């Protein structure tokens, strides 16, 4: 994926949120991350994963500012009650994804 990477978690989406906060703290190492989180069904394609959920996560990451963690509305709804704080970033069109999707910054 060039200078990007994908991490897929089986289980609770809050694991992805926790991982994102660890990656976000790599700034002292000279690394700046834009992180997009989405949860959904993905498919194994040999040594890779794919499907709409992977595509949505990549599009969400593309909209994130440097050092920002953006989550889809699906992640927002799924981790409700887990102590994660969010800030509404409105609804957006994601390239090659039908409709508009709500996005939230993870605080």
The pLDDT value recorded for residue 30 is 73
CB 60 within 8 A of CB 96: no
Ranking 9-13, 39-43, 57-61, 96-100 by mean pLDDT, the lowest is 9-13
CA distance 31 to 92: 27
Domain boundaries, the chain: 14-106
Q: What is the pTM of this model?
A: 0.86
Classify domain 14-106 at the CATH topology level: Alpha-Beta Plaits (3.30.70)
103 forms beta bridges with: 72
Indicate if the pLDDT at residue 29 is higher than 90: no
Residue 90's φ and ψ, nearest 5 degrees, are 80, -175
Name the DSSP class of 25: T
Q: Hunting for tokens 């953006």 — which residue is that?
A: 70
């Amino acid at each position: 994926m060039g200078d990007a990477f994908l991490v897929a978690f089986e289980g609770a989406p809050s694991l992805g949120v926790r991982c994102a906060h660890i990656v976000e703290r790599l700034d002292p190492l000279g690394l700046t991350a834009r992180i997009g989180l989405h949860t959904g069904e993905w498919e194994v394609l040999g040594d890779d994963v794919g499907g709409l959920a992977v595509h949505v996560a990549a599009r969400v990451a593309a909209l994130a500012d440097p050092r920002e963690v953006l989550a889809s509305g699906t992640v927002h709804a799924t981790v409700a009650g887990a102590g994660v704080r969010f800030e509404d970033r409105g609804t957006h069109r994601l390239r090659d994804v039908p409709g508009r999707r709500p996005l939230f910054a993870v605080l």
